[in-house]
Structure 1
């Protein structure tokens, strides 16, 4: 049994060689390397869903998730940074057009940031004075801009929205307005450089604020009408499944060597084969169900069809969680059969194991939708 629609089919072999050939060194450096970044810039992977008006690929959602899964299969850290930074570049559909043109004129344009409202923006003239600290900005070491949510204040008091809750607005910061705080000290996704960042008493014009709301869209296309929640859920889920497929590929080679070198009994060989086949079958099933849900939901928006839209979006949320859970399960089922090489921190299979267990902690898929 093999993985259906294997993500390797999406990437050119020379791309895979560049990504994986630098993966170990990138982990040692704790950030993506220049050759990996140059490939990203050439292929515009930080701009997977950025509007074509600004030089982006503007892929449909069903194309985007398959590409992201492939990048995460090639390497967890690179795939994760491409996902989070391209996800932030999706905000281009809501940015002031003049600002967007300015940002994306740079071929190395990359937006990192945080959705946590852990900053304040005090109204000051025709702008805001920003203060705050945010965690987990993947790609913080290679970004050109940061985005972050802030609680709006005026005269020391919270500004409320029409629902009576504190108004929260996202902002764009230039790299030189931000202090990166080294804080990514976790066992996996080491090369993502997902550090914290701080903004201290920086005045930002109102033109660098934006609203993620259909009423505030600047680019009126299905990509930006599609809800950000399901976009985030689906792209994080395929990161995890891509890494799981990488792990399965490595297991296949490990198990083949074990059959030759370990003098397995017939019963042991049968068990090894059964565990592997079950893992592949389980992941194939959940991936197929997930992609069916994403494709169906995307067609709703691409065709402007509102029938069953809420139901289809809920299906994306549900199947994203199932895919992430299934990916973790199959990796954990296979891991005990991989031998001590899988426990050696310098080995590729251990890096993939660490990456998938770190990435799967992302809060967007932790609880039931």
Structure 2
């Protein structure tokens, strides 16, 4: 099925072949396949948002969301891992430069992390002692470093912020200092390896702590002063869009197979399926166009609150349209879509699992 600006335009055919040929194996091993990882390292996809001064790509957001959509079109789990890990690499714009230099010097650098503030960091001398448990972090098995959120505590208990609430700060630690636990028990995104981890009585120097705020950016670049909320919403929505486009592509041969091999499907039924696919393509096309336009406009004027609000709304709308289009087409795919061994089913499971992310659940 032909679309304007199809995600495949950004993917070399051999990249897509490597990613998809190993997608089932990655799901079976519950983490990205070594061949997929090698491609990620070759193309520096984990470094998409890392500062250029440290060897990163420092990719502008309008270009980034199209790359991430294309990667998730190739495979949802791979696209998600790249998005979340490169997103953690964005923190390089806020991390102490001396520490950041050593982190990003690693040839296979990969930052994974969790946004949940389920740890504590007790002020200890010139640093902190960290304890906590985190439920999941996509790509953690491939990580060289992990980012975590902790409530800061002192000798008198929790440290409070200006609003009187517990002060939460992010930290970056070496992957070897966390103990991993099997934690991902969901139907989709299985190959993301989004497992749990624990940190016990770990002392870190104060330079491991940083702050995510435009005023705290240590790299003079638009990328690190663009609001984190809209950056997160846009990159996650791009993933759902890519998965939905993959599903729509797979519907073409699935519908053809049903039309020619199922006796109870007549010409009127075929017309219904074809119309549903055409409508889904049009809806996705419009939602994607609105989304990319909103991201581009906000990138040019990142201080305009109305434009940023449009990014939030168009991201949620794209997620909603992606879910609804896929669900409209799913019943026409037959048992192929219900078999956990098929690509159709894997894409469906991945999209419906990823779409549960809290940032994209409600259309505000």
CA contact (8 A) 2:111 2:147 kept: yes
Write the distance in 1 (CA, Å) between the matches of 2:136 and 2:83.
Answer: 14
Q: CA RMSD in A?
A: 1.1
How far apart are residue 368 of structure 1 and its match?
Answer: 3.8
The structure 1 residue matched to 2:343, chosen from 333, 344, 348, is 348
SS of aligned partner of 1:298: helix
How far apart are residue 266 of structure 1 and its match?
Answer: 2.3
User: TM-score scaled by structure 2?
Assistant: 0.98
1:362 aligns to 2:352 (yes or no):
no
Structure 2, unaligned runs of 5 or more: none
What residue in structure 1 maps to residue 66 of structure 2?
66
Mapping 1:1-369, distance limit 5 Å: 2-263=2-263, 264-301=265-302, 306=303, 309-369=304-364
Write the distance in 2 (CA, Å) between the matches of 1:299 and 1:319.
Answer: 17
How far apart are residue 176 of structure 1 and its match?
Answer: 1.4
Write the distance in 2 (CA, Å) between the matches of 1:282 and 1:83.
Answer: 24
CA contact (8 A) 2:126 2:206 kept: yes
How far apart are residue 273 of structure 1 and its match?
Answer: 1.1
Q: How many residues align?
A: 363
CA contact (8 A) 2:117 2:151 kept: yes
SS of aligned partner of 1:199: strand
User: TM-score scaled by structure 1?
Assistant: 0.96
Structure 1, unaligned runs of 5 or more: none
SS of aligned partner of 1:116: coil
How far apart are residue 239 of structure 1 and its match?
Answer: 0.5
CA contact (8 A) 2:129 2:202 kept: yes
SS of aligned partner of 2:139: coil
SS of aligned partner of 1:343: coil
Write the distance in 1 (CA, Å) between the matches of 2:248 and 2:219.
Answer: 40
How far apart are residue 294 of structure 1 and its match?
Answer: 0.6
Write the distance in 2 (CA, Å) between the matches of 1:368 and 1:129.
Answer: 40
Write the distance in 1 (CA, Å) between the matches of 2:279 and 2:363.
Answer: 25
CA contact (8 A) 1:3 1:245 kept: no
